[in-house]
Each structure stands twice: as structure tokens, then as C-alpha cells.
Structure 1
Amino acid sequence: MKKIKLLQQLTNEGVVAVLRGETPEEVVEMAEQAIAGGIKVIEVTMTVPFALQAIEKLAKKYTSSTQDPSKYAIIGVGTVLDPETARVGILSGAKFVVGPALNPDTITLCNRYRVPVMPGVMTIQEIQRALELGVDIVKLFPGNLYSPSTIKAIKGPLPQANVMPTGGVSLDNLADWIKSGAVAVGIGSDLTTEAVKTGNYSLVAQKAAQYIEAYRAAKG
């Protein structure tokens, strides 16, 4: 039931902040600003040096329980290439796992521990395989290689597939992705680039608020 509840929360929130940085401290700052701006689902990628430190700190500060809104956020681990990385991410407090590609062993491990896993896919064959392995949400990646109409095409033969585009999603096209059937979207560099360039991380909160506003408008 815990996994089902988390999946419901992920899709209800609808926007996932995919965070990369030079240090764990930088990523924690980005995450805190994104959460303050309204994005409550945070994916810390394993490309960040000492990423587990950031995940652990955020997981201790925030909880996936909605009983305390001031501390509510769902922290996950991304760029997971193998089950070993997934497991250490989970042990560090990650509530969900995201990969850039379809790795059956990673999916098996996450299913064992009842942790939502979202592997990256590019083809109908990969999506079908993910469904057969028990995946609930697939990550269409890199999203900038596709148009929002791709989701409608996918749902022709696979209407049961839950698709989350990541990469290339912007304020300009978010509504198109949602209206085409995306269950959520992953937001990467567009959320943080300006803040990193200027050193003003409050810009992350401002951009996060814009994304949440755009998402809610798209959902009606």
C-alpha cells in the first residue's frame, strides 16, 4: 500500500525536479528552493559527487507523509544504472528510483522492496518490456527528441502505459505534454541554470512556482 500511495502522490504532484550540481550542498540548496516554490518531488541524480549525502540530508528533513505540510516532499534518486546503486539510494532515504535506461535487474530490486521505479525508455518495445517487468511509470527520455504527440501515439497500442517525459520539458510546452496524456513531467536544467549562473538560488523557487502554476492550469 505504501508504494501505491507514493505513486498517487507522484502523479498528483505532477512535476519532478531533476537536480544536478557540483556538490551535495549545492543540490540541497536547489532542492530546498524548489520545494519552497511548490515542487514537492525531488530527484537527486547520482552524477552529483557524494549524491548520497544530499539524499540523506533531504530525506531526514522532509517526509512523504502529508500530515505535516511544512515538511512534505518526496525525495528520490536518479541516474541509477544498476541495482547496487538503487539499493544504496534507497538505504539513504530515497522513496523512488529513476534510471536513464531500462535495466531489468534494477526493476527487480525495486519491486522486491516495493519502491516505485521509473526507467528511461525510447521505444514501444522498451515500454512493453517495462510493463511486463512490473513498472508503473516509464520515463520518456530524452524528452527533447520527441513531441508531446508521441504520448498519444504510444497510447494507441499501449493505453495502459503511464508516461513521464523528462528532458526538453519547458514552461512553453508543459501544457502540451500534460494534455497529450503525460502523468507527470521531469524538469531539469531549465529549473536551475539561471540560478547557478547568477549564484542566486532563490530563482529556483521562482521558476518552480511558475512550473507548478503552469501544471495546475494544464490540469484545469
Structure 2
Amino acid sequence: MGQKIISEVLDGRRIVAVLRGQNALQYEDVIDTLVRAGVNGIELTLTTPGTLDALGSLRERFGDTAKIGVGTVLTPEDARTAIDRGAEYIVAPNLNPEVVTLAVEADIPVLPGVMTPTEVRTAVDLGASTVKIFPAQTVGAGYLKHLRGPFPDLQAVPSGGVDLDAAREWLSAGAPAVSVGGPLLGNVFKTGDLDQLKSTATAFVNALESNQ
């Protein structure tokens, strides 16, 4: 029994919102707005101060309405803390074998950042069920089709510069979900404009969640 792939964690939905705030106190209103718009995948990044301290209360606040993971996990120590505090999945920009192994042993889905076929194979051999292609904008959705030649069952989520048009292309290429930051969140952490966020998130959901 392997670890879940990300689409199973997201209950079949297809958007992971990447939240990079000025501090973790900003998370709650933004997550609430995203959930109301139909986005259930939430990645809290460790570049936002206070993320690990806020994780437990956010998991309690949003229960099953949001699937909350922790991203920008660079060290085994951060991975262990995130898992202990309730992260539903771990996301990293790079492939750190210790981070992957910790998550696999805890039976927590982990999405290590990969680019090359060698990194893909290493991540899979370590037990990762899903990888993160980063930076996705650099290679484009066609890259996933190429990777699926030698790795036909590869589950890969693009991250980095994925706007709405690119998201459509990646999903059409076979990605189970897309990881979206700026094109979805905009400047909400600076402006506090939740109405604009709701409008953008609703547009993403309407465009992508029916793209099966």
C-alpha cells in the first residue's frame, strides 16, 4: 500500500493554491475565501513567518474543507515538525532524500521538486507517489508528455509560473493537479482584496475543475 497521490488527497480536485504571505496571521481569511470559491488544496509555505506555529489551528479551523500541506520544506527538521503538527502533505522545491524518506515513513504524501529524468527516478525510488515539476514555466506542459514515455505512470504536478492557460495545458497533458501561486493569489497579501481573490479563484475553479 503506497502513499496517496495528490489527487486522492484533494478528493479529486485539481488546484493547489500556494500561499506566500507576509506573516501567518494573514492565512485564515485567504484560506476561507479560497475554500468558498471551491479551492480545497492549500500549500502554506515556510517562507512565510509563523507557518508551522499556525498549522495546527488552521487544520482545526478548516477541518476537511481545506486540504492543508506545507511547502518550501528544505530540511528534515522542518519536514518532521510539519508532519508532527498535522501537515496533510509535504512539498519541496528540490529533491532532498531525507525529506522524502521522512514523509514516506510517516505515510504523508510528499511532492519533491524535480526537473531531470534522473531526479524523477530517484524520487520514485525513494517512495514519492507524486513529484513536483519545478520550475514548470521553464519547460512547459509538453515536458510531462516526454517524461511519460519512460515513466508512463508518472504523477507530476507543475509549479512555478503556472497561469490559467498553462494550467489547462498541464491538466490536458495528464497532470493530476496544478500548483498555482501568483496567477491565483495576485497581491492579496499586500492589498487584502478578498473580493478580487474570490473572483480569480472562482474563474480558476470554473475553468479547471471541469477539465477532466
Equivalent pair of 1:28/1:54 in contact (CA under 8 Å): no
Measure, in 2, the Cα distance between the counterparts of 1:49 and 1:141.
Answer: 23
- Is 1:116–2:109 an aligned residue pair? yes
Specify which of 144, 169, 173 is matched with residue 180 of structure 1. Answer: 173
Whole-Å Cα distance in 1 between the matches of residues 190 and 73 of structure 2? 27
Distance across 2 between alignment mates of 1:179 and 1:93:
32
**Residue of structure 2 equivalent to 1:35:** 35
Q: CA deviation at 1:146?
A: 1.4
Give the whole-Å Cα distance in 2 for the aligned partners of 1:106 and 1:201: 34
Matches within 5 A, 1:159-174: 159-174=152-167
Maintained 8 Å contact 1:62/1:73 = yes
Paired residue for 1:100? 93
Partner of residue 22, structure 1 = 22
Q: What is the CA distance between 1:7 and its match in structure 2? A: 5.2
Which residue pairs with 2:4 in the alignment? Answer: 4
Tell me how far 1:2 sits from its aligned partner.
10
How many residues are paired up? 212
What is the alpha-carbon distance in structure 1 between the residues aligned to residue 7 and residue 189 of structure 2? 31
**What is the RMSD computed on CA atoms of the aligned residues?**
1.8
- Secondary structure of the residue that 1:12 maps to in structure 2? coil
In the alignment, does 2:70 pair up with 1:77? yes
Q: Secondary structure at the match of 1:76?
A: strand
Q: Distance in 1 between matches of 2:146 and 2:7?
A: 24
Q: Which deviates more, 98-107 or 166-175?
A: 166-175
Preserved contact between residue 5 and residue 109 of structure 2 (Cα < 8 Å): no
Q: Cα offset for 1:11?
A: 6.4
1:168 to partner: Cα distance: 1.4
Aligned to 2:182: 189
1:114-153 equivalences under 5 Å are 114-153=107-146
TM-score w.r.t. length of structure 1 = 0.90
Greater CA deviation, 26-35 or 45-54?
26-35
Aligned-pair CA distance for 1:173? 2.1
Report the Cα distance in structure 2 between the residues aligned to 1:119 and 1:6, rounded to whole angstroms.
Answer: 12
5+ residue gaps, structure 1: 65-71
- Structure 2: distance between partners of 1:94 and 1:43: 9
* SS of residue in 1 equivalent to 2:209: helix
* Structure 2: gaps spanning 5 or more residues: none
The amino acid of 1:63's aligned partner reads: G
TM-score normalised per structure 2:
0.93
Distance (Å, rounded) in 2 between the aligned partners of 1:100 and 1:153: 21
Partner of 2:49: 49
**Take 1:9 and 1:88, find their aligned partners in 2: how far apart are those partners?**
20
How much does 1:4 deviate? Answer: 3.2
Q: Distance between the aligned counterparts of 2:178 and 2:128, measured in 1?
A: 17
State the secondary structure of the residue aligned to 1:35: helix
CA distance in 2, matches of 1:142, 1:4: 23
SS of the aligned residue for 1:218 comes to: coil
